[in-house]
Structure 1
Amino acid sequence: MLIAITEKSQRFISYEYTRNVLQQLRQQGKFYCPQCQQPVQLKIGTINIPHFAHIANQACDRLFAEGESVLHLKGKIQLFEWLKKLGHTVELEPYLSKLAQRPDILLTKQDQLVAVEFQCSSISYEKWRARTDGYKKERIEALWLFQTPPKKSSLGIHKISITPLMQQVITRPLQGLPYIVTFDANTSQFIYWSNLLHLQGHTFITKVQCLPSEKQGYPFFEPKSISKDEFNRYWQLYKKTGEQYVYQRLLRSKKGVQDPFLRSCYEMSFSLESMPPYVGLPVKNSEAIPCFSIEWQTMLHYFCRQLQLQPHELCKGDIQLFLHQLGVEPTAASVQAVEDYSVVLEKAFSSTDSISAICEQVYVHLFAIDTVC
């Protein structure tokens, strides 16, 4: 921890002093934990950032974090100084007695309190949920910033795996595709995983962008939608991944034509080597259906043929029945994903069924625009 209380009951921030000054102060006085009031030791190493820690065998009943990594201490300082330079009222490591919680930073913006949590280490969903709910109960907004994972800050358009917990902090704008902002304490940069397009499971296609902290504002800047040319790169990567998925599914399936997906392909006369261009389309809300779009959309066409209906003619009850058969919970988001696919399909076929026409309709629908520039 970076904060301690002096013998004069004053808050003391360790990183604001040089090591030489800290060594003198350590000999002259004592420091105490802001929560449990027990003595703490000031650690002044040559590698780690100067910080405080409880004396061995002492137990802080309020669970002040111990063993923080260099990266976490560094990132916490960088974020604190960044918010101060922006002119915000911020407090480092405040103790919230009502919650028995200590956010890394507490930001006061007008009448709104924001608890900033810089997360470097792994944390369980249950602990994350409890802390988030605790803040919410006291009408404090929780801002979780995850340390940018190694090898996931390479700029450009990539496939990327996002953990279930990080998916909880995805920002979903009214228009365009969702995004996540992470922070890289190694470079003091905010990394945007923008325009997230779900593939399957925890895999997405994203455009990775970076913004140095000195250029970042708060609230965060929202990333722009990708261009039509960039979407074509998304499209190519998406379709290529779909082809690989079908090939691997064919090799690994032990059920043969009893496999629901392969059975649907057989009944619809879909060639696994060259699937129709209108299946495997990216649509909004697709992360609500865990399997790859090429699978559930093929099975949807077979389901529709059995009902002698077109996808856009399905009622909500039909869609819920289809999702049940697929083994997917018929939530509002999963139903909407099927409806979104039906809309794209109907618009694409109303003019032409060429690949370019379908691609254009997908782009228009994903980014909620009226015309394509």
Structure 2
Amino acid sequence: MLLALNEQRQLFHPYQYTRETLQRYRPHMKFYCPQCQQPVQLKIGKYNTPHFAHNANSNCVQLFSEGESKLHLQGKIQLFEWLKGLGHTVKLEPYLPELSQRPDMLVTRQQKQFALEFQCSTISHEKWQLRTSGYEKNSIQALWLFQTPQRKQSSLGIQKIFISPIMQKTITTTASGLPYLVTYDAKTSRFIYWTNLLHVHGYTFIGKVQEIATHKQHFPFYEPKSITKDEFHRYWQLYKKLCRQFTYQRLLHSKKGMQDTFLRSSYELHFSLTAMPDYVGVPVKTAEAIPMSPLEWQTILHHFCRDLQLLPHELSDNEVRSFLIQQNVEVTDQAMQAIKNYGMVLAKSYEKNDRFPDIYEQVYTHLFAIATIY
């Protein structure tokens, strides 16, 4: 932990002093855990950020983290100083007895409280949910800021991004509906924005990666603007490339042959697996609710519609449910909406020509064109 009480019961922040000064203080000062009031040791060392730790026989309930990484300690200090520099009321590692929780920082801004958690290590979904719901039940907005994965440290621009399931929980949307994620790189003191996120499948997204130096960042965070139509062209090319890779891998590794529903549907629809139509494998909103590649479920959907002699936008709710059940997909509002979104995009293109020449324009409008402000 980064702070403790001194003998006068005042908060003591060791990172505000040089190591030489702390070496002189340590023999003459006693420190206590702000939570359990038991003595704690001042750890100085040569490399790690100075911090405190409980004695081995402590019976503290350990709500204060022990064994924090150097990167985590550095990041918390950087973020704390950044928030103070903005003039906000901020507390570092405050214990909230009514919650039995301790956020990394508690920020008060315009009578609203934010619990800012800087997460460097892995955390289970259950623990994340428990801590988040604890804050929310007490009218505290939880903000999770993950350490930027180092593979993205110097890579900016439009690209394929892998986002872990727990980090996907922290994806938020702008007022105009743009999904984005903010991380923090404690090594470079920069906020990394993964903006205009487009879900491909599983952990894979396409997004525009941007960075903001700490001294230029506001709190709460900036909201990104939409990509342009020219930038979307790069999205479209990359998305279709990933669709082609999916088809190749499916052909290479499928053990079911023509018993594979996707391959059989493609064959019976006369779709060329080396040049699938542009109107299948289309990104649409809420598609992440269907745990299949859009190329797969949309191909199978067209086969399903052919048997019913209907177009996708003509399906009733019961028929959409039947399709999802057939594919062993959980019937949720989001999954239902994904099917409807796809039908809507096709319908707008179909109005102009029955060969869907305008699908590219309609997808851009559906995903990004209505979101044009910061």
TM more than 0.5 = yes
2:243 maps to what in 1? 242
Do the aligned residues in 2 keep the contact of 1:364 with 1:370 (CA within 8 Å)? Answer: no
Structure 2 unaligned spans of 5+: none
Give the drift of 1:253.
1.0
- Per the alignment, residue 272 of structure 2 pairs with 271
Q: In the alignment, residue 286 of structure 1 is paired with which amino acid?
A: A
Q: Aligned in 2, Cα 1:370/1:349: closer, same or farther, shift over 3 Å?
A: farther
1:82 aligns with 2:82: yes
Q: How many residues align?
A: 371
User: Displacement of 1:356 after TM fit?
Assistant: 6.1
Deviation at 1:185, TM superposition (A): 0.3
Aligned to 1:35: 35
Equivalences for residues 30-109 of structure 1 within 5 A = 30-109=30-109
**Shift in CA distance, 370/116, structure 1 to aligned 2, threshold 3 Å:** closer
| 1:236-294 superposed Cα distances (whole Å, 9 cap, x missing partner) | 01111101111111121111111111111122111111111111111111111121111
Question: Would you say the 8 A contact 2:225–2:371 is kept in 1?
Answer: no
- 1:208-219 paired onto structure 2 within 5 Å: 208-219=209-220
**In structure 1, distance between residues paired with 2:328 and 2:176:** 30
AA partner of residue 66 (structure 2): E
Task: Determine the structure 1 residue equivalent to 2:146.
Answer: 146
The separation in 2 between residues aligned to 1:126 and 1:14, in whole angstroms, is 33
* Farther-moved stretch of structure 1 (54-63 vs 164-173): 54-63
| Partner residue in 2 for 1:198 | 199
Q: In structure 2, do the counterparts of structure 1 residues 328 and 368 end up closer, same or farther at CA, with 3 Å as the change threshold?
A: farther
Q: 2:298 corresponds to which letter in structure 1?
A: Q
Contact preservation (8 Å) 2:63, 2:102 = no
Q: How does 1:168-317 map to 2 (within 5 A)?
A: 168-317=169-318
**In structure 2, do the counterparts of structure 1 residues 174 and 265 end up closer, same or farther at CA, with 3 Å as the change threshold?**
farther
**Equivalent-residue separation in structure 2 for 1:126 and 1:289 (angstroms):** 22
For 1:356 and 1:96, the matched residues in 2 are separated by: 58
Q: Which moved more, 1:186-195 or 1:152-161?
A: 152-161
How much has 1:201 moved relative to structure 2?
1.1
Q: In the superposition, relative to structure 1, how do residues 282 and 145 fare at CA in structure 2: closer, same or farther (>3 Å)?
A: same
State the 1:44 CA deviation: 1.2
Q: Which runs of 5+ in 1 are unaligned?
A: none
Q: Partner of 1:143: helix, strand, or coil? A: strand
Give 1:140's aligned amino acid: I
Q: Secondary structure at the match of 1:363?
A: helix
Helix, strand or coil at the partner of 1:204: strand
Aligned 1:91-170 pairs, distance under 5 A? 91-153=91-153, 154-170=155-171
Distance 1:356 1:18, change over 3 A: farther
Distance in 1 between residues matched to 2:357 and 2:27, nearest whole Å: 74
Question: Could you say if the C-alpha distance between residues 28 and 356 of structure 1 is closer, same or farther in structure 2, counting changes exceeding 3 Å?
Answer: farther
SS of corresponding position for 2:142: strand
TM-aligned CA deviation for residue 355 of structure 1: 7.3
What code does the residue aligned with 1:127 have? K
Deviation per CA, 1:134-192: give whole Å up to 9, x if none.
Answer: 11121111110000011123101111111110010001234343110000000010000
Which letter maps to 2:48?
N
Distance, in Å, in 2 between the alignment partners of 1:336 and 1:61 is: 45
Secondary structure at 1:98's aligned position in 2? coil
Q: CA deviation at 1:222?
A: 0.8
Give the secondary-structure state (helix, strand or coil) at the position aligned to 2:64: coil
Shift of 1:6: 0.8
Residues 310-359 of structure 1 show CA distances to partners (whole Å, capped at 9, x for unaligned) of 11111112111111111111211111111111111111122246776211
Aligned equivalents of 1:349, 1:217: Cα separation in 2: 44
Does the Cα contact within 8 Å between 2:174 and 2:224 map onto a contact in 1?
A: no
TM-score, normalising length from structure 1?
0.96
Amino acid at match of 1:88: H
Query: Within 1, Cα distance between the matches of 2:305 and 2:363?
Result: 21
The alpha carbon displacement at 1:307 in A equals: 1.1
Instruction: Write the distance in 2 (CA, Å) between the matches of 1:59 and 1:361.
Output: 61
Distance 1:177 1:257 in 2: 39
* 8 A contact 1:176–1:368 mirrored in 2: no
**1 CA distance for matches of 2:371 and 2:177?**
13
Residue identity over aligned pairs, in percent, reads 63
One-letter amino acid matched to 1:335 = M
Query: How many Å separate the matches in 1 of 2:353 and 2:124?
Result: 49
Q: What is the CA RMSD across the aligned residues, in angstroms?
A: 1.6
2:343 aligned residue:
342
Rounded Cα–Cα distance in structure 1 between residues aligned with 2:371 and 2:161? 29
| Aligned residue in 2 for 1:363 | 364
**C-alpha distance in structure 1 between counterparts of 2:217 and 2:61, whole Å:** 37
Quote the Cα distance in structure 1 between the aligned partners of 2:178 and 2:265: 30
> Residue 319 of structure 2 corresponds to which residue in structure 1?
318
2:172 counterpart SS class: coil
